Amino acid sequence: MTTLADRLKDADLLKTDSFINGQWVGADTRFAVNSPGDRSHLADVADVGGAGARSAIDAADKAFKGWGKTSVFERARIVQRWHDLILEHADDLGTLITAEMGKPFGEAKGEVTYGAGFVNWSAEEAKRLHGETLQTPFPGTRGWTVRQPVGVVVCITPWNFPSAMITRKCGPALAAGCSVVVKPAPETPLSALALAELARRAGFPDGVFNVICGDAKAIGEVMTSSDAVRMVGFTGSTEVGKLLMRQAADGVKRVSLELGGNAPFIIMDDADLDAAADGVIASKFRAAGQTCVSANRIIAQAGIADALIERVTERMKKLKVGSGFESGVQIGPLIHDEAVERVDALVQDAKGKGAKVLVGGSPMADELGGSFYAPTLIESGSNFSLSIANSEIFGPVASVYRVESEEEIIRLANSTPYGLAAYVYTRDIGRVHRLSEGLEFGMVGVNAPMVGSPATPFGGVKESGIGREGGKWGVEEFTELKFVLLGGVNK
Ligand code: NAP
């Protein structure tokens, strides 16, 4: 039987202990990591718990005193080396993602490259963290601003992008001069620990970059209550984001929250329908629909709804489902069996309330031997009160709604507490402006099904989060703006 280590070109990237203060630290308690594609056992990872969190934060606090003062050129060199090592080992990092999370290997490697882009961008951008000289109202004074690193940052990350959600936070944090403690999701710790091994090789001083695995509640409480921690960076569900925000409030810590979404994917009656159908497939089925920016409500203007459904159906019937390691597979498994049950419950609920299942509509676990769900297309008419319209589907299920007017489309698209990504397909320039301005979302893709890149701001409004990752904004997020007033300048 081929083990995970056999699949790696560099088996030393397979780590199962936490990385604290430059050392690999084990624990008596371990938790199992299994592959959702075939349910095979991959590894037993040490749970270092609250005690591990405390020692990682102590180490990060000590390390910050030096790292935060290191020349940005020196910091950028090390961050850049980390980026280069990530790309050099992209095959192995992709293999780890496919094994523990399930997405197809090509997509997994794409995630590694995408995530590395934030590290590279941040190494460059940190050199441009300028202050400004300011006008002052008092005679004989001068004023200026400086940007300084926030301090110790903790990052709590989800399983759906096991690599990129770490690099998207840690690249800018480290380049800005912060020290970091990462807690990855228990489903996908191996990607995080491999990134720690590459950070070790890149030459970060001990304690600057730490990865700890284990009980979320215990670790989260230590992280949010420690005086040494100045910022909590979190990507995950809105529910946990709110909890962490409440916990961080006592210490008035800065929070950066990338939370859940309920993306409307709007197709107006003047749209290029082939491009729109391609867009639905790209947005909906990446990572088997398990992304925060996945099309969640496909809203077609009534006149073109049938033509759109026909095009989407054609494309969906060609999608290949299977193990992420099998060539040609476009849809891998869901993260675990509970996810399959949750997605199926949404589909059955919609069906029971009158929605039509046009393609798929059931689990594929028995045929494929893992936590698979069939790519599914549902026609939900104009029923926006269905659970499937109001919760994150997080699975390969496309639900199409028909709406007549532009005003109604905007109203319904905004009728959610979430505000992460929205998509609009139209060729009418007036509509481009009306819709992109009227949609209450942090990002709007117009005739474009993907919105994230290292150069651009990624983040949500309303209950989808606070703060932005990417571009200059992503680096500024990890700095404090200090004002200095100098008096006594005049003789
Ligand atoms: P989740 O359940 O919120 O978990 C995310 C992370 O938080 C995990 O590491 C989890 O560890 C940890 N956690 C849970 N409870 C905690 C606590 N009390 N204290 C400290 N840490 C705690 O989310 P998920 O299911 O992994 O990921 C899916 C969600 O992430 C979706 O809602 C998706 O939209 C969102 N997401 C958002 C973005 C974005 O950029 N906006 C990107 C990707 C994903 P345990 O599992 O051990 O509890």
Tens digits of residue pLDDT in 332-380: 999 999 999 999 999 999 999 999 999 999 999 889 999 999 999 999 9
Q: What is the pLDDT of residue 21?
A: 98
Q: What is the pLDDT of residue 124?
A: 98
Note if the pTM is more than 0.85.
yes
Averaged in consecutive runs of 10 residues, what is the pLDDT profile of the chain (491 residues)? 94 98 98 97 98 98 98 98 98 98 98 98 97 96 98 98 98 98 98 99 98 98 98 98 98 98 98 98 98 98 98 98 97 98 98 98 94 98 97 98 98 98 98 98 98 97 98 98 98 89
- CA 240 to centroid of ligand 1, rounded, Å: 6
Name residue 379's beta-bridge partners: 356, 400
User: Is 292 among the catalytic positions?
Assistant: yes
Residue 111 Cβ inside 6 Å of ligand 1? The answer reads no
Per-residue DSSP letters for 342-374? HHHHHHHHHHHTT-EEEE--SB-HHHHSSS-B-
Q: What is the pLDDT of residue 365?
A: 87
List Cα–Cα distances, 486 to 131, 148, 149, 183, in angstroms.
15, 18, 22, 42
Probe residue for ligand 1, chosen from 29, 48, 114, 160 as the CB with the greatest number of ligand atoms within 8 Å: 160
Q: Hey, which bits of 53-208 come out as E strands?
A: 133-134, 142-149, 152-156, 179-183
Probe residue for ligand 1, chosen from 154, 167, 240, 451 as the CB with the greatest number of ligand atoms within 8 Å: 240
Which are the contacts of 49, defined by CB distance < 8 A and separation ≥ 6? Answer: 27, 29, 214, 215, 218, 219
Q: Among the atoms of ligand 1, which is closest to the Cα of residue 464?
A: 41
User: Is 178 among the catalytic positions?
Assistant: no
Shortest-distance Cα residue to atom 48 of ligand 1: 216
Torsional class of 140: left (φ above 0), alpha (ψ -120 to 50), beta (otherwise) = left
Per-residue DSSP letters for 389-419? HHS---SSEEEEEEE--HHHHHHHHH-SS--
- Going by C-alpha positions, the residue among 474, 445, 446 that lies closest to residue 459 is 474
Catalytic residue among 107, 258, 379, 469: 258
Q: What is the pLDDT of residue 366?
A: 86
- pLDDT (tens digit per residue) in 117-133: 999 999 999 999 999 99
